[in-house]
Amino acid sequence: MVKEYKQHYLPLSRAQLVDRLQAALSAKRFAHVLRVEETAVKLAKRYGVDPEAASVAGLCHDYAKERSDADFIRVIKAKRLNPILLDYGNAIWHGQVGAELVKDELGVQNEDILNAIRVHTTGDAYLTPLAQVVYMADYIEPGRDFPGVETARRLTKQDLGLGVAYQTQATLAYLVKKGKPVYPQTLVTYNAWVPKYRKELK
């Protein structure tokens, strides 16, 4: 576990950051965020990523999840983010737009951390090792229970990129099955990661 931060990724101690998250989130989501942090730190140590960056990104990844649609729409317009975001909703906004709230309200400046938060739901063609760690920690944290989660945990331990490919394939299949709108970046992630790992995913 990361107890106190030695690096200044944000102007808060870990304890202060945890308090801010507790105030911003339901008890259930707050507990999820703590489990994602723990899982992200473990994966970070395994894969040579800075555990403090993994801690900050894991804690902050769902910071904005309970914000109103009006808050997100205001940020999309004020910061002139990609207007196609307006065709989506909270599922996409809490990461892509939520990263802006993490920067402005929590004071996180590190671009790798902000980007890992931005892409934690959709992925991207290129994902830094930290972004891969957060994407996978969110999916396999010990509170997750869905068909395939054990496979996801095993593959992620074996090869981080293979875990990314597994989650990306499963998420796209789920969205298609449910007839949900696919954010273009989610398709970009699929094309970049899934064919490359096709043989190991069988």
Alpha carbon of 34 to those of 9, 51, 162, 173: distances in Å? 18, 14, 24, 28
Q: Report if residue 96 touches ligand DGI, rule: CB under 6 A.
A: no
Q: Can you say how many angstroms the Cα of residue 9 is from the centroid of all Cα atoms in its chain?
A: 17
Virtual torsion, Cα 103, 54, 86, 125, nearest 10 deg: 130
| Window 133 to 162, contacts with ligand DGI (CB under 6 A) | 138
74 binds ligand DGI (CB under 6 A): no
Site membership for ligand DGI, residue 192 (CB under 6 A): no
CA distance 77 to 107: 21
Query: Is residue 94 a contact partner of residue 138, using CB atoms and an 8 Å limit?
Result: no
CB of 121 to Fe ion, least distance (A): 5
> Could you say which of 63, 93, 183, 197 contacts ligand DGI (CB under 6 A)?
183
Binding ligand DGI (rule: CB under 6 A), the pick from 142, 181, 195, 198 is 181
The alpha carbon of 193 is separated from its chain's Cα centroid by a whole number of angstroms, namely 17
By CB under 6 A, tell whether 115 contacts ligand DGI: no
Interface with ligand DGI (CB under 6 A), residue total: 16
The structure tokens listed for 129 are 């090792």
Task: Report the nearest approach of ligand DGI to the CB of residue 171 (Å).
Answer: 5
Which residue in 156, 155, 75, 154 sits closest to 118, CA to CA? 75
Instruction: Identify which of residues 90 and 151 has a Cβ nearer to Fe ion in the complex.
Output: 90
Is residue 138 at the binding interface for Fe ion, with CB under 5 A as the rule? yes
Residues that bind ligand DGI (CB under 6 A): 62, 65, 91-92, 95, 120-122, 138, 171, 175, 180-183, 186
